[in-house]
C-alpha cells in the first residue's frame, strides 16, 4: 500500500529577462525535437535502454499469453474460460511495473527537454499545430507517435512558455515549413517523409530536413 500527501501552495512567477530571438521547434519521429538554433533532442524510444526495457516487456507478455493458453478450460457449449493462476498474476504485476518504469523514463526525458528549450530564454517559441489524430491513422507510424507523446510535449512547452512569459505560437499546420528552403525561400512541390535531407534545386542548399523546417518556423509571421 502506498500513501500520498498532497499540499497546495502559491508560487510567484519568476521574473526572467528574455532574449530577442525566436526559437523554432520541429517535432517528429526521427528526433523528438530539432531547434532552429541547431540543438537536437533524440527520440528516447530509439535508445538502447528503452529498447532493452521494451524487449523485456514483450517477453513477459509472451510468457503471460502462453500461461493463459495452458490454463484455458473448454466449457460445455463451446465457451472458453481462462483461469488466472498465481504465476499469471505475478507476470501481470511484473508487466505493470515495467510499463510504469517506461512511462516514468519517458516523462522524465520530456521534462528535461522542455527545461532545455526554455533555458536559452527566447522571447518567442513557434511550433507547428500538430494533427495528432490524423498522424495516428498511419498504421506504420501510430505506435511511434503514441510513444513520442507529442501532444503532451506540446502542452508542457506551452505551459512553460506561459509561466516564463515567453510568447507561444502555433504555426498553421498547412504552413510549408518542411518544403520551404530556409536559405532562398523556394518551395518544393513535393517532399517525401523518407527524404531526410532537404536539397534546394534553386540555390543548392543541403540541410537536415528537420533543422530546415525549424528555421522556417522561427521566421513564422507574428
Q: Is residue 11 part of a domain?
A: no
Residue 107, C-alpha cell as written in the block: 516523462
Question: In this predicted model, what pLDDT tens digit does every residue of 103-144 receive, in sequence order?
Answer: 999 999 999 999 999 999 999 999 999 877 777 777 777 888
Helix axes 86-119, 150-164, angle to 10 degrees: 40
Q: Is residue 6 part of a domain?
A: no
Q: Is residue 17 part of a domain?
A: no
Q: Is residue 123 part of a domain?
A: yes
Q: Who's near 142: CB < 8 A, 6+ residues apart?
A: 135, 136
Domain around 68? 22-218
Measured between its terminal Cα atoms, the distance across the chain in Å is 52
pTM, to two decimals: 0.83
Q: Is residue 5 part of a domain?
A: no
Tally of structural domains, the chain:
1
Beta bridge pairs of residue 74: 80
Contact 191, 178 (CB under 8 A): yes
Q: Is residue 73 part of a domain?
A: yes
Lowest mean pLDDT among 104-113, 148-157, 211-220: 148-157
Amino acid at each position: 500500500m502506498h500513501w500520498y500527501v498532497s499540499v497546495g501552495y502559491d508560487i510567484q512567477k519568476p521574473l526572467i529577462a528574455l532574449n530577442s530571438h525566436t526559437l523554432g521547434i520541429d517535432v517528429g519521429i526521427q528526433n523528438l525535437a530539432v531547434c532552429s538554433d541547431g540543438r537536437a533532442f533524440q527520440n528516447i524510444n530509439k535508445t538502447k535502454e528503452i529498447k532493452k526495457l521494451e524487449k523485456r516487456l514483450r517477453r513477459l507478455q509472451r510468457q503471460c499469453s502462453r500461461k493463459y493458453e495452458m490454463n484455458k478450460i473448454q466449457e460445455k457449449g463451446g465457451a472458453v474460460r481462462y483461469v488466472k493462476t498465481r504465476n499469471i498474476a505475478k507476470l501481470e504485476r511484473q508487466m505493470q511495473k515495467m510499463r510504469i518504469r517506461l512511462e516514468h523514463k519517458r516523462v522524465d526525458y520530456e521534462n528535461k527537454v522542455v527545461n532545455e528549450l526554455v533555458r536559452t530564454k527566447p522571447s518567442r517559441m513557434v511550433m507547428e499545430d500538430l494533427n495528432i489524430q490524423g498522424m495516428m491513422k498511419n498504421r506504420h507510424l501510430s505506435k511511434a507517435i503514441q510513444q513520442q507523446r507529442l501532444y503532451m510535449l506540446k502542452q508542457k512547452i506551452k505551459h512553460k512558455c506561459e509561466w516564463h512569459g515567453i510568447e507561444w505560437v502555433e504555426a498553421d499546420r498547412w504552413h510549408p515549413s518542411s518544403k520551404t528552403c530556409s536559405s532562398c525561400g523556394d518551395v518544393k512541390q513535393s517532399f517525401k517523409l523518407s527524404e531526410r535531407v532537404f536539397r534546394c534545386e534553386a540555390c543548392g542548399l543541403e540541410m537536415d530536413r528537420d533543422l530546415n523546417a525549424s528555421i522556417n518556423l522561427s521566421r513564422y509571421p507574428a
